[in-house]
A and B are shown apart, each in its own frame.
Chain A
Amino acid sequence: MTPAGQRSALLDARAITRALDHMAVGITELAGKDGANELMLVGIQRRGVELADRLSALIASRTGAPVSRGALDITLYRDDLATVGPKPLVGETRIPGDLSGKCVVIVDDVLYTGRTIRAALDELADFGRPARIGLAVLIDRGGRELPIHADVVGKAVTAGPGDRVDVLLTEVDGRDAVELVTGGGA
């Protein structure tokens, strides 16, 4: 058995780049299904925002058209606020323009229980009525507690309930890596 707290690499920087390329294609295809609907990427604070930035650049270079981006902090929509303390810091929420009629793709680093995405869906609904909402995640680690699935996945991994998946990004952490922390907690 691996000792608790031991880190092992799931993706290195090059693998992340490949995964993002793959995701950019997937998102373009997803948006393409709806024809003329304008695409908007909404990153979930904190690393989803950085991933959305990278993905929008990749998509723009492919399609030649700029992709609008937003940021969403779902803290205020969490279903466990009454029990967490101290209260988490709330990050910025920035949704440019009206969402009505757009194809919104939520971008996050790790998909696990699905509760964050449930909160994000609720929050997005307060900003308008998109034609369609999709979900793109860098890592799907399984372990869903809600009927939610990702439309675009960079890499699917298997992690136990006691493990933690850390996504590290250069913009925030100084390097690109995805690591599994055994027994590190979710």
Chain B
Amino acid sequence: MSAPALAKDLLGIEHLSAEQIRLVLDTAEPFKEVSERAIKKVPTLRGKTIVNLFYESSTRTRTSFEFAEKRLSADTVNIAASGSSIEKGENLVDTARNLEAMRIDMVVIRHPASGAAEFLAKRIRSNVINAGDGMHEHPTQAFLDLLTIRDRLGKIEGAKVCICGDILHSRVARSNIWGLLKLGAEVAVCGPRSLLPRGIESLGVRVFRRIDEAIQWADVLNVLRLQLERMQAGFIPSLREYNRVFGVTVERLARAPRKTLILHPGPMNRGVEIDSLVADGPQSVILDQVTNGVAVRMAVLYLLAGGNPERAEAAKGGAE
């Protein structure tokens, strides 16, 4: 039996095995310690060049990746859509091929189109890490959520996790659903039906129409950010009503049969999907998520790095 490994790229959770997900989570553990050192740097990726290609603005994810890369001693370049050749109309393939011509090793890509990371991965030799593609997947966010839940509950298997809010437009929701299901959690979603994808039940999740029912059931609530644009697009009438009907409040949590763990991928709309007292309260693990984010990203970078799949493949064959 060969040891689990990741493929050339990390594009999503849907096509990973439970063993591969566990590998990432287990690998993240020792990386937590690296960030606690006085010198928060190991030479693992010395000489590797990583491009953070961000077609959407993102403070948290980009910063987290950048810390992860720097703590592994990689050389990093950040490219944002504005003020670059992207803004001048260069298409994704040309941008990527030009970067690759500069002999890079890895690309971390955030893009508004679903499938953009896979598209890129099929066309360049460098390792590609999906840092969020459209409404599709955000695998490193799922890893950090899984790690945070595992840290707190001891295991994922059997945990009841409800993802709340705008599932329809959420890559975080999709990646979390796949990851949780593969590790044996029970998964539910809760939100207005206008923000749930049709056919969501077929993925193996249950649907709660009311947040109170979800709170009664769940060990963990993963509260998603409600994009303000959804109101203009006619999916919900107002943020005020959203908060009244779906907001996670102290009063609602107080009626839970257990201490519900509260996750939020950020950035939060305080007073919309989550009340400040909940976000800042003792059940919130939102800052643990951020800390774990750096560790899981270090783990992913470490596991993918190498840039030499043929030799890696040969080495793997030799071990069998």
A residues within 8 Å of B by Cβ?
73, 76-77, 81-87, 89-94, 122-123, 126-128
B residues within 8 Å of A by Cβ?
2-5, 23, 26-27, 29-31, 33-34, 37-39, 41-44, 72, 302-303, 305-309, 311-313, 315-316
**Docked-complex contact B30 and A91, CB < 8 angstroms:** yes
Which of chain A's residues have a CB closer than 8 A to the CB of B34?
76, 93
Complex-state Cα separation, A110 to B306, whole angstroms: 27
Q: How far is the CB of B31 from chain A (nearest CB, A)?
A: 7
**Docked-complex contact A76 and B44, CB < 8 angstroms:** yes
Which of chain B's residues have a CB closer than 8 A to the CB of A93?
30, 33-34
For B306, give its contact among A85, A89, A92 (CB under 8 Å). A85
Complex-state Cα separation, A1 to B306, whole angstroms: 38
**Docked-complex contact B31 and A90, CB < 8 angstroms:** yes
Complex-state Cα separation, A139 to B110, whole angstroms: 50
For A85, give its contact among B41, B72, B315 (CB under 8 Å). B315
User: Known: A76-B302, A127-B37. Contact between A85 and B5, CB under 8 A?
Assistant: yes
- A and B contact pairs by CB, cutoff 8 A, 20 listed: A76-B43, A76-B72, A77-B43, A81-B44, A82-B306, A83-B308, A84-B312, A84-B315, A85-B309, A85-B312, A85-B313, A85-B315, A86-B4, A87-B306, A89-B23, A89-B27, A90-B31, A123-B42, A126-B37, A126-B41
Q: How far is the CB of A113 from chain B (nearest CB, A)?
A: 17
Which of chain A's residues have a CB closer than 8 A to the CB of B39?
126-127
Nearest residue (CB) in A for B303 is: A87
**Docked-complex contact A73 and B30, CB < 8 angstroms:** yes
Which of chain B's residues have a CB closer than 8 A to the CB of A90?
27, 30-31, 302
Nearest residue (CB) in B for A92 is: B30
Nearest residue (CB) in A for B39 is: A126
Q: How far is the CB of B189 from chain A (nearest CB, A)?
A: 34
Which of chain B's residues have a CB closer than 8 A to the CB of A83?
306, 308, 311-312, 315
- Contacts A76-B302, A93-B34 given; 18 further ones with Cβ under 8 A? A73-B30, A77-B43, A77-B44, A82-B308, A83-B315, A85-B5, A85-B311, A85-B313, A85-B315, A86-B2, A86-B5, A86-B303, A86-B312, A87-B303, A90-B27, A90-B31, A123-B42, A126-B39
7 A-B pairs with least C-beta separation:
A85-B312, A86-B5, A76-B42, A90-B30, A76-B44, A126-B39, A85-B315
Complex-state Cα separation, A87 to B319, whole angstroms: 12
Which of chain A's residues have a CB closer than 8 A to the CB of B305?
81-82, 87
Complex-state Cα separation, A89 to B29, whole angstroms: 10
Which of chain A's residues have a CB closer than 8 A to the CB of B41?
126
Q: How far is the CB of B126 from chain A (nearest CB, A)?
A: 14
Q: How far is the CB of B106 from chain A (nearest CB, A)?
A: 12
Q: How far is the CB of B45 from chain A (nearest CB, A)?
A: 8
Which of chain B's residues have a CB closer than 8 A to the CB of A127?
37-39
Which of chain A's residues have a CB closer than 8 A to the CB of B43?
76-77, 122
Which of chain A's residues have a CB closer than 8 A to the CB of B37?
126-127
Q: How far is the CB of A130 from chain B (nearest CB, A)?
A: 14
Which of chain B's residues have a CB closer than 8 A to the CB of A86?
2-5, 303, 312, 316
Complex-state Cα separation, A117 to B26, whole angstroms: 25
Which of chain B's residues have a CB closer than 8 A to the CB of A82?
305-308
Which of chain A's residues have a CB closer than 8 A to the CB of B3?
86
Complex-state Cα separation, A73 to B305, whole angstroms: 19
Complex-state Cα separation, A35 to B39, whole angstroms: 29
